[in-house]
Chains A and B, each alone.
Chain A
Amino acid sequence: MNNDPVLVFNHIPKCYGQSLRVYFRAFMATHTDYEAGFACAEDHRRFAYDVSTLAADDLLIGHFTSSTMNLDERYPEVLSNPRFRLFTFVRDPLDRQISQYYYSFRSGRNRKGVTMEEHPLAKVLSTASNSIAGAFPCNEENCEEMLSRYFFVGVTDRVQESMRVLVERIWRIYSEAPRTRAVERMLSSLEKVRNRGLPHENRAKRDTQADAVSAEVLETFRRNNVVDYKIYQIAQRRLDADLAELGLA
């Protein structure tokens, strides 16, 4: 039985996750667990990883966000066994939703075959409701408690600071762990990545719709996404506290 610490990244869509995947792939075995790699959702459900075999140089990544992919159903061990260390990134809810919108139309049409003209951004913003909260999942009452399960919550809009804190936090986790070979490898790699530049993958092309969203639509969006804004603020505060604690401010 392996007792190494293992990193688990809950990839909330359009929050810098693809870039992080590239970043970690340079020095870790990235166990990606996305439905997209499978023939169908049922296959994805059937073929989960055996997380008990993961070690310190493994990283489990997925959108553990949908009803079929919630961590407590797919990998309950990740939540119950303290050797698994969860982290995630969140983003300004409006920016995230706009980014999600353009990403969904990256090939001209979205998955339902609809064009941007048929499904404008303003309409999406008017109906979107707490997507980030849905990804954890949590609500206004328990979002603070839910976030506390994560050793780190990055803020995409502050990616440089977030990455400095993340690498430092990971460093501490491994430096406090029993020195297995995988832990030694990770510590050696972390020394090298500390000064490495950050990638930016998966950037979606945009038109001018985002610049022309009306004040009324923005107000509706804010009203309908109160929990997401609360999560975002908690993440900001945690990042500030982390920066201060680690002497990185």
Chain B
Amino acid sequence: MGVATMNQTSSLDSAREPALIYHAITGIEGRELTGFLHRVFVVVQDENYELGGLPTRPQEIHPIDPHTLSAIKLFTFRGHGLPREVTLRGTYPEFFQDPRFLVMTFIADPLRSAAHAYGWYAAQDDGRPKMSFAEFLRGRKPNLYADALQCRWWNWRSVLGKYFFLGVHEESVKSLAVLGPKIEREFARRAQTPNVARARYFLGRYLANPETADAEASVEIDARVRDLSAGEVEAFRRRNRLDYRIYEYARRQLDRDAQATAEMEMAAA
């Protein structure tokens, strides 16, 4: 099922509230994205990361009840620090089967994502000597996006096609400029419940005054990436070919979505 198919909503589905799912796979939050999510929705997370004591075995997790999600209650699945077997598709298969659920994710350049992860690693005050960024890259498990998305070379395109929206962290302002109207269009054609009306109200307020680019946060990441040799970058790209394929697909999809949004806005004007 492709993105276009996911956007088609049967009359039966429109009687139920849409619910957004954010599949956080990069480890990068981004001020623009979190600002958007919290200004428009009530966010519920897969685990209580602030409280600590994360589950160490799959049977210790307490999944949310998908029936309790609504147009204003957005679910964020991170899976960070959880057992590897705990995945979005494995825990919540209905998110990819029931058109009520609109799953979105944001992808970053895999090298920048690794640079972000290195920042977290380097900041850990555990008394152990720290690897250089280049050593960190060599020891890092390759194709982590593919793992998080549960896809491989033979099915990555169809897996990504099931996502309502693919954003790009490096283009977060553009991504949100596409995502906001896309959600609005989707919500506008569903039943106008009080929750849908409230979400659309806050979405409208967000779109009238959106978050702006968070340039400062990327300075350290830029510096880390810049300090690598061309050979190190090339080796990383080779080891993470599938993740780069996913990233490039997300960029192209974002361009297509942006084009479609612009055309719809022109037609509406």
Contacts and interface: CB of A to CB of B under 8 A. Distances in A.
Contact of B68 (A39, A58, A184): A58
A184 B67 CA distance: 15
Given A49-B195, A181-B62, A57 B44 contact: yes
Main secondary structure of the interface of B (DSSP, over half): mixed
A49 B68 contact: no
Nearest to A51: B194
A50 B64 contact: no
Contacts of A209: none
Interface stretch (B47-55, B125-133, B165-173, B228-236): B47-55
A26 B62 contact: no
Given A50-B195, A55-B68, A39 B50 contact: no
Nearest to A48: B194
A188 interface: yes
A2 B68 contact: yes
Given A58-B68, A182-B65, A185-B64, A50 B194 contact: yes
Interface in B49-78: 50-53, 62-65, 67-68, 70, 72-73
Interface in B171-218: 193-195, 197-198, 201-202, 205
Contact of A193 (B51, B62, B63, B72): B51
Contacts of A29: 42-44, 73
A49 B62 contact: no
A189 B49 CA distance: 11
B73 A26 contact: no
A237 B193 CA distance: 43
Contacts of B53: 192
A189 B51 contact: yes
A171 B62 CA distance: 16
Nearest to B199: A47
A83 interface: no
Interface in B12-53: 17, 42-44, 48, 50-53
Given A29-B73, A49-B195, A50-B195, A181 B63 contact: yes
Contacts of B65: 55, 180-182
A58 B62 CA distance: 15
A29 B46 CA distance: 11
Contacts of A50: 70, 193-195
Contacts of B198: 47-49
A30 interface: yes
A185 B62 contact: yes
A27 interface: yes
Contact of A47 (B44, B48, B70, B201): B201
Interface in B70-117: 70, 72-73
A46 to B, nearest CB: 8
A37 B205 CA distance: 10
Contacts of B72: 31, 49
Contacts of A185: 62-64
Contacts of B68: 2, 4, 53-55, 57-58, 181-182
Interface in A51-75: 53-55, 57-58
A49 B194 contact: yes
A144 interface: no
Given A30-B42, A43-B201, A182-B68, A53 B51 contact: no
A220 B113 CA distance: 63
A37 B41 CA distance: 12
Interface in A14-46: 26-27, 29-32, 37-39, 43, 46
A181 B48 contact: no
A2 B69 CA distance: 11
Interface of B: 17, 42-44, 48, 50-53, 62-65, 67-68, 70, 72-73, 193-195, 197-198, 201-202, 205
Given A46-B201, A53-B70, 14 more contacts: A26-B50, A27-B48, A29-B42, A30-B42, A31-B73, A38-B201, A47-B194, A47-B197, A53-B17, A53-B68, A58-B42, A181-B64, A181-B68, A185-B62
30 contacts: A2-B68, A26-B48, A26-B50, A26-B51, A27-B51, A29-B43, A29-B44, A31-B72, A31-B73, A37-B202, A39-B205, A46-B197, A47-B197, A48-B198, A49-B194, A49-B198, A50-B195, A53-B17, A53-B68, A53-B70, A57-B44, A58-B73, A181-B64, A181-B65, A185-B63, A188-B62, A189-B48, A189-B51, A193-B51, A196-B51
Interface of A: 2, 4, 26-27, 29-32, 37-39, 43, 46-50, 53-55, 57-58, 180-182, 184-185, 188-189, 192-193, 196
List 10 A-B pairs, minimum CB-CB distance, nearest first.
Answer: A55-B68, A181-B65, A29-B44, A50-B194, A26-B50, A185-B62, A192-B51, A47-B198, A27-B48, A53-B70
